[in-house]
Amino acid sequence: MSRILLNRRSFLATTASAGAMVILPNRAGALAAAPVKGGRLVVAGDSEPANLNPAIVASNGVFFVASKVIEPLAEQSYEGSDGLAPRLAISWEGSADGHTATFKLRDGVTWHDGKPFTSADVAFSALEVWRKLQNLGRVVFKNLESVETPDDHTAVFKFSQPTPFQLIRNALPVVTSVLPKHLYEGTDIAKNPANQKLVGTGPFKFGEYKPGEYYLLKRNDAYWQKDAPLLDEIVYQILPDRAAAGNALEAGEIQLAAFSAVPLADLERISKVPGLKVYPNGYEALTYQLIVEINHRRKELADVRVRRALAHSIDHAFVVKTIFLGYAKSATGPIPAYDKTFYEPDTATYAFDPAKAEALLDEAGYKRGADGNRFTLKLRPAPFFNETKQFGDYLRQALAKIGIDARVVSNDTPAHLKAVYTDHDFDITVATPVYRSDPAISTTILFESGLPAGVPFSNQYGYANAEVDRLIKDAASEIDAAKRADLYKELQRKVADDLPLINVAEFSFISVAHDSVQNVSNNPRWAVSNWADVWLRE
Amino acid sequence: MKRWRQLNLEGRAGCVLLVALVLMALLAPLIAPGDPLAITGEPMLRPFSSEAHMLGTDRLGRDVLAGLLHGTRTTLLVALFSAAVALSAGSIVGTLAGFLGGIADMVLMRITEAFQTVPAFLLALAAISATGPSVPTLIFAISLGTWTQAARVTRAQVLSLRERDFVAAARTLGMRPLEIAFREILPNAFGPTASLAAISVAAAILIEAALSFLGFGDPNRVTWGSMIAEGRTVLRSAPYLSIVPGIALVVTVLGIHLLGRGLSHRERLQP
């Protein structure tokens, strides 16, 4: 169908590549899969963020569209050193004392409005946007004092306190989207019109946004990378109904549905549809963790034996196989196994063993009453995913087996967040924190004590452990990468033993694409990367 | 038996359907003992493929038949109570408005109209999202949008009744006004209001199912609406999960409708 909608430029592009084939007939024949330029990729879009600026809102819903327009300094990669591939920066280095980080920037990059990209843009973005306004940048660049720009292609970040370069490096793809200084300087950054009509250096220019209908991105002919991008246009067709994505794929109305827009339960059927391919990879850097949050203010739950009993009551194999239909992995602790740098496999584990759970509860002094129940818990499953709700239903049954009566309380997202993270009106919950390549920006917030009420997805559990707090504090200023990783490994051993919350599974998303779409899922943040190398086979 | 013979075919059919439903609700703990939300088998068994699970199992391995039977209880409980609440609240407001007249009538009727301008389902949705879902709040939320009809019908009845001789007689006997309103007028005005019951119950069932479908039902109870909602995610690969409770819903509303028609037919035949 995209053929019918050919515009003049893509018509020229296809005729040009047809001309190239005439000149080099042998090459075209030998490399049947050589990338073809042109075409329009239609993608299922699910959310329409109020603010589309990835430098301010570092979230996946924003990146899904904005990452094609505004680029970070570096992107995640399966092959690159430190798991990174260069984007606007070509090299990076941290000083031994943790006080400076130096970035060499790419030459010959221009903004979509024609102005050259320089180190001044990076300095401005870091000081005025990432450090001040961005949800994650506030943590990473907390101690950023100044950014020196000795020349147009060097930016030197100066920190007042030692800041682990490992953390900065791991956070580069997420926190360093560079904004054009000339459009933002001297304006109210949070209200700048360019937050909706994005201007960046990326392979695609922002074309048009029709609320409730679509986002349109157009090819950037002046992109710094040679022969890229390959697509002429990307259209994000807004399909708020999850069931619609599968049908739209089958009907050929869209060619790609990312972020599990097609429900897991439909994948087996969809995978058998000729012409459609299911990609379970390409989201490793966006790993979600299915956890049970525990309110330590409840007398019963303050007892570690009771928490261990809860852990023993959960059958990880059932969760992975039945709830996630195999598209998840059982978790052992708060850092996912895919992160080779920080993951500690050697921790206390809690096998599925209801009998042992009952023994632990008896030992803790909570015997079954006359009605078979030991005590009642208020269970609040997060409403974010189908799977969180289903796991909530499962957990209620699993706990019933060991004599704990869990009453499910369900709410919409705002009410759920308020009840759990502000009012602490829960006993246990089902939640899904995201792991973002470094414990300092994803894991520690779930364990450190003394956070103010109202911070979502953080330790609002009334859990305080001096040893855990010390490890987190030490790691925050440890500039030696190996020592820092060791501190986090010790943290994992500690919390696996003390069990302030229960990690059940790690899951991510699935993409479904037409087999004509090439180079799908070729990096660990694929859906939120720039898609410069994506192309459509005829 | 005299009444049964007076019922026409429609009414009899509706009656049979409803009796069957009530039996289902009453016998649910005998046919499907235990918690209907318990995970009892392999997930996603098709209907009639296993003797232990006649109607199959859902995505977690919960028995569909058990869900259906216990769902009847929730559905009927919520529907009957909310219809009762709506009818009583509506007839009290209607009686007061019609009998008192004047400013009281004005105020009460404007309030009724204010409620009528908002669709009943939206009112229920708003109430539930404010109070959180549970059976009592569901009953309250549903009646919030359905009492207005009863109020208007009762008021119209009362307006015509209050000028009758027996009211004047009651007045000369020295009965207090409120006593006259609720002991003399309301019982006589209640007939037409009661015939609204069928519509109210059917509306309540549909609102309850829709609320559960949207995830605003009581999560600790099975309801048909929540069964349909859960089945929707696998509509293409396991349509039976939505169809089975869907049929139950259709049969129930149909039964109530038929009985309602049968009854009003009988009313008309009476001398």
Instruction: Search chain A and give the residue with CA nearest B44.
Output: A322
Domain ranges of chain A: 70-192, 287-507
d(CA A266, CA A268) in angstroms, rounded, equals: 6
- Cβ <8 Å between B59 and A390: yes
- Cβ <8 Å between A410 and B235: no
Domain ranges of chain B: 24-269
The residue among A148, A183, A140, A242 whose CA lies nearest residue A53 is: A183
Interface of B with A in 241-270 (CB under 8 A): none
Which residues in B lie closer than 8 A to residue A323 (C-beta atoms)? 59-60
Interface of A with B in 401-430 (CB under 8 A): 407-412, 415
CA atoms lying within 13 Å on the CB side of residue A158: 7
In whole angstroms, how far apart are CA A362 and each of A54, A374, A375, A402?
51, 9, 12, 10
Helix (H) or strand (E) segment spanning residue B113: helix B102-117
CA angle A502, A505, A506 (to 5 degrees): 125
Query: Chain A to chain B, count of Cβ pairs less than 8 Å apart?
Result: 57
Name the architecture of domain B24-269: Orthogonal Bundle (1.10)
Which residues in B lie closer than 8 A to residue A429 (C-beta atoms)? none
- Cβ <8 Å between B220 and A408: yes
Which residues in B lie closer than 8 A to residue A412 (C-beta atoms)? 129, 215
- Reduced to 3 states (helix: H, G, I; strand: E, B; else coil), residue A40 is strand
- Reduced to 3 states (helix: H, G, I; strand: E, B; else coil), residue A473 is helix
Q: Which residues contact A388 (CB under 8 A, 6 or more apart)?
A: A290, A381, A382, A430, A431, A432
> Are the CB atoms for A127 and A147 separated by under 8 Å?
yes
Tell me the shortest Cα–Cα distance from B239 to chain A, in angstroms.
Answer: 12
- Cβ <8 Å between B37 and A396: yes
Interface of B with A in 212-231 (CB under 8 A): 215, 219-220
- Cβ <8 Å between A323 and B132: no
At A510-530, the pLDDT tens digits run: 999 999 999 999 999 999 999
- Flag whether residue A49 sits within 8 Å of chain B, measured between CB atoms: no
Cβ neighbour number for residue B74 with a 10 Å cutoff:
23
Cβ neighbour number for residue B1 with a 10 Å cutoff:
5
> Are the CB atoms for B112 and B98 separated by under 8 Å?
no
Which residues in B lie closer than 8 A to residue A407 (C-beta atoms)? 220
A390 → closest Cβ in B38, B60, B215: B60
- What amino acid is encoded at A195 in this protein? N
B215 → closest Cβ in A322, A390, A410: A410
Interface of A with B in 303-362 (CB under 8 A): 322-323
- Cβ <8 Å between B219 and A323: no
Interface test with B, best of A371, A377, A397 (most B CBs within 10 A): A397
Interface test with A, best of B220, B230, B240, B241 (most A CBs within 10 A): B220
Interface test with B, best of A388, A405, A411, A416 (most B CBs within 10 A): A411
Strands (E) located in A270-399: 276-279, 287-294, 328-330, 375-381
CATH number (3.30.200.20, 3.30.70.1450, 3.30.70.100, 3.90.76.10) of A70-192 reads 3.90.76.10
Residue B7 has pLDDT above 90, yes or no: no
At B101-147, the pLDDT tens digits run: 889 999 999 999 999 999 989 999 999 888 888 889 999 999 998 89
If you compute the radius of gyration of chain B from its CA atoms, what whole number of angstroms results? Answer: 22
Instruction: Search chain B and give the residue with CA nearest A413.
Output: B129
Instruction: Search chain B and give the residue with CA nearest A244.
Output: B233
Which residues in A lie closer than 8 A to residue B61 (C-beta atoms)? 322
- Cβ <8 Å between A386 and B233: yes
- Provide the token pair at A425: 């009106």
DSSP codes, A388-440: HHHHHHHHHHHHHHTTEEEEE----HHHHHIIIIIS---SEEEE-PEE-SSGG
- Flag whether residue A152 sits within 8 Å of chain B, measured between CB atoms: no
Strand bridging mode A428-431 / A204-210: unpaired
Higher pLDDT, B233 or B12: B12
CATH number (3.10.105.10, 3.40.50.1110, 3.30.830.10, 3.40.50.1370) of A287-507 reads 3.10.105.10
Interface of B with A in 62-121 (CB under 8 A): none
The segments of chain A whose pLDDT lies below 50 read 1-31
Structure pTM? 0.82
d(CA B114, CA A519) in angstroms, rounded, equals: 58
Tell me the shortest Cα–Cα distance from B45 to chain A, in angstroms.
Answer: 13
- Cβ <8 Å between A410 and B133: yes
Helix (H) or strand (E) segment spanning residue A62: helix A60-66
Q: Which residues contact A225 (CB under 8 A, 6 or more apart)?
A: A203, A532
Chain-centre distance of CA A212, in angstroms? 24
Tell me the shortest Cα–Cα distance from A47 to chain B, in angstroms.
Answer: 19
Instruction: Search chain B and give the residue with CA nearest A409.
Output: B219
B61 → closest Cβ in A246, A322, A392: A322
Q: Give the pLDDT mean for B255-264.
A: 83
Q: Give the pLDDT mean for B74-86.
A: 91
Which residues in B lie closer than 8 A to residue A400 (C-beta atoms)? 35, 38
Polymer length in residues for chain A: 538
Helices B135-161 and B102-117, axial angle in degrees (round to 10): 140
Instruction: Search chain B and give the residue with CA nearest A412.
Output: B129
- Cβ <8 Å between B220 and A407: yes
Tell me the shortest Cα–Cα distance from B201 to chain A, in angstroms.
Answer: 26
Chain-centre distance of CA A237, in angstroms? 21
ipTM: 0.81
d(CA A489, CA A183) in angstroms, rounded, equals: 44
Helices A304-312 and A354-363, axial angle in degrees (round to 10): 160
DSSP codes, A213-264: TEEEEEE-TT-SSTT----SEEEEEE---HHHHHHHHHTTS-SEE-TT-S-H
Interface of B with A in 132-151 (CB under 8 A): 132-133
Interface of B with A in 3-42 (CB under 8 A): 35, 37-39
- Cβ <8 Å between B233 and A415: no
At B176-194, the pLDDT tens digits run: 888 888 888 888 887 777 7
- Cβ <8 Å between B39 and A394: yes
Tell me the shortest Cα–Cα distance from A482 to chain B, in angstroms.
Answer: 43
- Provide the token pair at A520: 């799908």
